[in-house]
């Protein structure tokens, strides 16, 4: 469905996200949920945002991340494209993304963890991920410590950021900076 306002899109997307929990596995159920949770926000005939809004679980229990504070999150994926052309993507729009994230997360947007694209497909479309971590009752909170807390990992273990030397500039990840303050 194509939306032209966040006022209509946000409640619809939040309702759709209630249909299930996304655990990252590539199976029929998750792919159906992903399709149900994908939305288009059209700004004008030549520019739109593709949004996926899901409730994600299993980050800690699956063994992916060590810190149990990172078990579940509200996950908003954003990319921008020209719908008139196949494969015509725009660079990430920080200003619009902040507006969209605030529409979804309200005052809790400052707690979001923002990730740049890492997969080849994500890099092609410049898909950015805004994650708001939640407790067991789906109430947002600021996780304690790092996702790979040194308290529960071997001394020689390194995160992706440490291995690859990736540190976003504050202007490229405003919510990440705010969440770390």
Q: Which domain holds residue 109?
A: 2-179
- Rounded to 5 degrees, φ, ψ at 134 are -135, 155
CA distance 105 to 76: 10
The mean predicted confidence, pLDDT, of the chain is 84
pLDDT in tens, 81-93: 999 999 999 999 9
- The pLDDT score that the predictor gives to residue 145 is 72
Q: Strands 2-3, 89-90: parallel, antiparallel or unpaired by DSSP? A: unpaired
CB 90, CB 126: distance < 8 Å: yes
pTM score: 0.80
pLDDT band at 136 (very low <50, low <70, confident <90, very high): very high
Query: How many domains are contained in the chain?
Result: 1
- Residue pair 81/88 in contact (Cβ under 8 Å)? The answer is yes
Better-predicted residue by pLDDT, 19 or 165: 19
- Is residue 165 very low, low, confident or very high in pLDDT (cuts 50, 70, 90)? low
Indicate the SS3 state at residue 9.
helix
Is the per-residue pLDDT at 77 higher than 60? yes
> Per-residue pLDDT for 180 more than 50?
no
Residue 22 neighbours by CB under 8 Å, 6+ apart: 30, 33, 34, 37, 54, 55, 56, 57, 75
pLDDT value at 119 more than 60: yes
The span from the CA of 98 to the CA of 43, in Å, is 15
pLDDT band at 130 (very low <50, low <70, confident <90, very high): very high
Query: Smallest Cα–Cα separation from 152: which of 60, 59, 24, 57?
Result: 60
Q: Give CA–CA dist 75/113, Å, rounded.
A: 10
């Amino acid at each position: 469905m194509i939306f032209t306002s966040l006022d209509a899109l946000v409640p619809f997307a939040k309702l759709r996200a209630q249909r299930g929990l996304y655990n990252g596995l590539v199976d029929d159920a998750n792919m159906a949920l992903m399709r149900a949770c994908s939305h288009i926000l059209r700004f004008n005939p030549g520019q739109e945002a593709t949004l996926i809004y899901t409730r994600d679980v299993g980050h800690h229990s699956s063994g992916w991340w060590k810190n149990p504070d990172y078990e579940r999150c509200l996950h908003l994926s954003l990319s921008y494209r020209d719908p008139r052309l196949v494969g015509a993507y725009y660079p990430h729009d920080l200003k619009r993304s902040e507006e969209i994230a605030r529409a979804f997360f309200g005052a809790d947007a400052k707690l979001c963890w923002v990730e740049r694209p890492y997969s080849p497909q994500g890099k092609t479309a410049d898909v950015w991920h805004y994650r708001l971590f939640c407790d067991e009752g789906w109430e947002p909170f600021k996780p304690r410590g790092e996702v790979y807390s040194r308290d529960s990992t071997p001394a020689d273990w390194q995160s992706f950021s440490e291995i690859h030397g990736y540190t976003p500039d504050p202007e490229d990840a405003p919510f990440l900076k705010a969440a770390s303050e």
